[in-house]
Amino acid sequence: MQIHRSAAIAALVLTAAALPAVAAAGDSVPSDRVSSHSHDLVAVQSADVPRSQAWGSARVKALPNGKLQVTVEAGGLAPGVHHMAHLHGFVDRVDGGCPGPARDTSGDGLISVAEGAVDYGPVLVHLTTAGPTQAPVTFTDYPLADADGTISYQRTFPATVDHHRMAGRVQVVVHGIDLDGDGTVGAGPETSIPALCGGVAD
């Protein structure tokens, strides 16, 4: 298990190295029209939840042409399945964040998508590989994890007036955990449960 995880981490590092250089989280923005925010993605669920301890990184970059570029590198996810991924946040404030163990208000040992949304907010952008970025979207347009459970995602979204402001406010959330160990992420909680989270407040 340790060898497999180490190999996956090494693969992620090599993939990330091939991408354009990014600014570290908290760095000053290079101009009033560009901002780049990089974040670690951390497991949302307790280590007691089987197959839940994924890892990764994300970059959200507002470009000078008004477009928004999002990059996600993640490993340890359920392999061979699509994973919902979004930019979450609050349009009226910056103080969103990722949920901690106390957010499991139901006491079932899991942080549901609704429990987590108290911290990271509603969906602002669907991180699809193609097609619409606002609901309704097609599930198979979300990133597909490879056989090792890794995702390497990058998409540049069309310009909107909100993108510069959004880049410094959002949380990146990747969903989907194979809770029952059957090799799939079935309908219901397995599909929507938050697996990874990271963003400006963390």
More confident residue, 31 or 193: 193
Q: Is the pTM of this model over 0.85?
A: no
Report the 3 state secondary structure along the chain.
CHHHHHHHHHHHHHHHHCCCCCCCCCCCCCECCEEEEEEEEEECCCCCCCCCCCEEEEEEEECCCCCEEEEEEEECCCCCCECCEEEECECCECCCCCCCHHHCCCCCCCCCHHHHHHHHCCEEEECCCCCCCCCCCCHHHCCECCCCCCEEEEEEECCCCCHHHHHCCCEEEEECCCCCCCCCCCCCHHHHCEEEEEECCC
pLDDT tens track for 41-96? 999 999 999 999 999 999 999 888 888 999 999 999 999 999 999 999 987 766 67
Q: What is the mean pLDDT of residues 26-45?
A: 71
Average pLDDT over residues 185-195: 90
In this predicted structure, what is the pLDDT of residue 81?
Answer: 95
**pLDDT tens for residues 122-165?**
999 999 999 999 999 999 999 999 999 999 999 999 887 566 67
